[in-house]
Amino acid sequence: MRKKSLFILLAIGNMLAIEAQENKQTMNPFFQAYATPFEVPPFDKIKNEHFKPAILEGIKRHEAEINTIANNPEAPTFENTILAMENAGELLSNVNVVFSNLNGANTNEELQKIAKEVSPNLAAHNDNIYLNEKLFTRVKVIWDKKESLNLNLEQAKILENLHKAFVRSGANLADADKDKLRKINAELSLTSLKYGQNILAETNKFELVIDDKKDLAGLPQELINAAEDAKTKGKEGKWVFTLSNSSVMPFLQYSSNRKLRQQIWEAYQTRGNHDDEFDNKENAVKLANLRGEKARLLGYKSHSAYVLEESMAKSPENVAKLLNDLWKPALAIAKTEAADIQKMMDKEGIKDKVKPYDWRYYTEKIRKQRFDLDEQELKPYFSLDNVRKGVFQVTEKLYGLKFKQLNDVPKYHEEVTTWEVTEADGTHVGILYMDFFPRASKRGGAWMTSYRSQKTVDGKRKAPVISIVCNFTKPTGDTPALLTFDEVTTFFHEFGHALHGLLSNVTYKSLAGTSVPRDFVELPSQIMENWAAEPEVLKMYAKHYKTGEVIPDALIQKLQKSGTFDQGFATVEYLAASFLDMDYHTQTAPIKLDANSFEKNSMKKIGLIDAIIPRYRSTYFSHIFAGGYSSGYYSYIWSGVLDTDAFEAFKTTNLFNPEKAKLFRKNVLEKGGTEDPMVLYKRFRGAEPSVEPLLRKRGLDKKEETSKKIKG
Ligand SMILES: [Zn+2]
């Protein structure tokens, strides 16, 4: 009797639980189709507490779909296996994109906590798919008879990608090794998450508080205004500078107070390096070692060999060749730049060698002296609004696209703006979010991402939802956001990525937009930077924010002449970080040194001079330790070779050459990852890319002979 009633009670309890769960699901916006304009995510309804249940349910549903595919009694076919997998996991991917994007652009403690909690579930889920033997057997059956299946290009590509994903995830391993791999993957994802959270904490932790007006000497008024706005409670009458790039970099560039420059620079370059709870030294080495272990388990010599197999460069040797070819001429130029700085410091009576916190300050002075160019003189011509108009205009002239601001689309933060992108004839292309200003809730840097990738359903193009996120100078008081030229090019850059996502025109979403090798993905972005600096284009958008006056020719000339200025430094600090990345990831045995010693050795090997540090140090190199760029930081310069060579097609004919624009759109921007990048590139350009335009552009062509073609 008692037993029975307990049973009934339990049953009722279960029913109640099911009902409660159903209620929760109807309240949770992720469990319904998005009833929003253009089916964008319903940001106005999404709350922190919706993520975890939706992610866990998403995993459950995806798992069920995968099991159905794996246990299908029918013989494996392209449709019932490859296509079924391509389309599975919709809920999970919907929640995941929103979650990971918000965790980067507008995070909070709760989201960070959820990320940590679900990270092992997601890693295990991924392993459950790619280490599922039944599933792999089906994929392999199809792979082995692919020639007889009459697949089209895209079908062949998703089959190839899926088969490779299994092999590269360990599907061929023995059971014991599969278990090892699962453990490594779980630890990798947690450690990488922790590494990124540490950087954010370290960046937010430091403030340089100035209470004496004298100490603001040399700083431009907008920076002072921004520092005044940044002060928090209890700091009235003081100025606050932070480690956000839009604060620390101009401070280093303009502050004439060497001690304060040193102070903020030390804070910047020791982030994650204080032997406390946010220290990243161990995390960096641990990540590199775990990756090495995983690569060896999978039969590769190193993590780099594993990663680069999938790139345009193909091997660590090809990457090393390009980096070394560029290193010598760049270092030679950087040394002459250092000598110029030393001369100026000597003249000022500073009895010290050039230090990294001197570089930007004196470079700015030399720039002024040599080219009579003051960055502050330029900024009034680069109001964010005018630059945005310029970006839109360039895009319209090249590809005929139109942009209309939308005010009725939900967004995740009031600073975000939303746009509908259409063809000239009004056909819908996609939705674009733009989020420009720094916040404590946003990670540093600038990036593009998508909330929905493009695909084709029943012959109809399903449009993408794309976003760009930046950390530009904020407006202050009555002054609009006035960008540095560096920020202007960053805007063009991210917008280029956005176009890659927006113009995508493929069948399968796993091939859409930026789903291409890392060293090809920066071509669409970097090529856009070239237009930003052309006199003809500058005259279109660089207009004084107060008077509307078009940027004067004299100023354009100065900008042009100074184009190769300081390129030794820029190239060297970038290459140094690339070498560091490659060193961490080409190791064939576990690293025993701590991160600081490892980095020191790595820099000694290439002969980096003391006045320059790598663009990112081991403890705050989020590209490689918290993002997807491990063994891939070189990609920017690889793509740099591509973009300068590609831009020559316009530069030597007509900046808005309609035929070239069409070729670029059709063969690069629309194609996503449907074909081999070099094939796509050659179809656009008619030949393989040459290194020479890049060397010329950076003023590095004078010193040393380098080989003419990139390999890969
Ligand atoms: Zn980029």
Contact 451, 41 (CB under 8 A): yes
Q: Which amino acid is it at 541?
A: Y
How many angstroms does the Cα of residue 493 sit away from the middle of ligand 1?
Answer: 6
Q: Which residues are catalytic?
A: 494
Phi, psi of 111 (to 5 degrees): -60, -40
How many angstroms does the Cα of residue 53 sit away from the middle of ligand 1?
Answer: 33
Q: How far apart are CA 697 and CA 705, in angstroms?
A: 16
Average pLDDT (154-168) is: 96
How many angstroms does the Cα of residue 354 sit away from the middle of ligand 1?
Answer: 31
How many angstroms does the Cα of residue 628 sit away from the middle of ligand 1?
Answer: 12
CA distances from 278 to 195, 204, 385 (A): 8, 12, 38
Taking only the tens place, the pLDDT of each residue in 458-488 is 999 999 999 999 999 889 888 999 999 999 9
Contact 39, 55 (CB under 8 A): no
Q: How far apart are CA 442 and CA 68, in angstroms?
A: 40
Contact 352, 365 (CB under 8 A): no
How many angstroms does the Cα of residue 613 sit away from the middle of ligand 1?
Answer: 22
- Lowest average pLDDT, out of 207-221, 248-262, 271-285, 361-375, goes to 361-375
3-class DSSP state for residue 625?
helix
Q: How confident is the model at residue 232 (pLDDT cuts 50, 70, 90)?
A: low
Q: How confident is the model at residue 8 (pLDDT cuts 50, 70, 90)?
A: very low
Residues composing the chain: 712
Q: How far apart are CA 632 and CA 59, in angstroms?
A: 29
Task: Find how far residue 241's CA is from the centre of its chain.
Answer: 25
Q: How confident is the model at residue 247 (pLDDT cuts 50, 70, 90)?
A: very high
Taking only the tens place, the pLDDT of each residue in 51-71 is 999 999 999 999 999 999 999
How many angstroms does the Cα of residue 526 sit away from the middle of ligand 1?
Answer: 7
Q: How far apart are CA 136 and CA 173, in angstroms?
A: 12
Q: Both tokens of residue 185?
A: 């993957």
Model pTM greater than 0.95?
no
Taking only the tens place, the pLDDT of each residue in 619-630 is 999 999 998 899
Residue among 202, 194, 340, 191 at smallest CA distance from 271: 202
3-class DSSP state for residue 456?
strand
DSSP sequence for 226-256 = HHHHT--TT-TT-EEE-SSHHHHHHHHHH--
- Lowest average pLDDT, out of 79-88, 210-219, 309-318, 558-567, goes to 558-567
Taking only the tens place, the pLDDT of each residue in 182-220 is 999 999 999 999 999 999 999 999 999 999 999 999 999
Q: Kindly give the pairing relationship between strand 428-435 and strand 417-422.
A: antiparallel
Average pLDDT (235-264) is: 93
How many angstroms does the Cα of residue 574 sit away from the middle of ligand 1?
Answer: 14
Q: What is the pLDDT, as a whole number, of residue 22?
A: 55
What is the SS3 assignment for 379-442? Answer: HHHCEHHHHHHHHHHHHHHHHCCEEEEECCCCCCCCCCEEEEEECCCCCEEEEEEEECCCCCCC
Tell me the percentage of the chain whose pLDDT exceeds 90: 84
Q: Both tokens of residue 521?
A: 């993905």
Q: How far apart are CA 402 and CA 554, in angstroms?
A: 32
How many angstroms does the Cα of residue 446 sit away from the middle of ligand 1?
Answer: 8
Full strand arrangement of the beta sheet holding 428-435: 402-406, 417-422, 428-435, 465-469, 447-452
Indicate the average pLDDT of the chain.
92
How many angstroms does the Cα of residue 181 sit away from the middle of ligand 1?
Answer: 31
How many angstroms does the Cα of residue 495 sit away from the middle of ligand 1?
Answer: 9
Average pLDDT (412-437) is: 97
Q: How far apart are CA 635 and CA 581, in angstroms?
A: 11
How many angstroms does the Cα of residue 521 sit away from the middle of ligand 1?
Answer: 7
How many angstroms does the Cα of residue 494 sit away from the middle of ligand 1?
Answer: 6
Start-to-end CA span in the chain (Å) = 76
Average pLDDT (595-623) is: 97
Q: What is the pLDDT, as a whole number, of residue 652?
A: 95
Q: What is the pLDDT, as a whole number, of residue 21?
A: 57
Taking only the tens place, the pLDDT of each residue in 358-395 is 999 999 999 889 988 888 899 999 999 999 999 999 99
pLDDT at 711 over 60: no
Q: What is the pLDDT, as a whole number, of residue 233?
A: 62
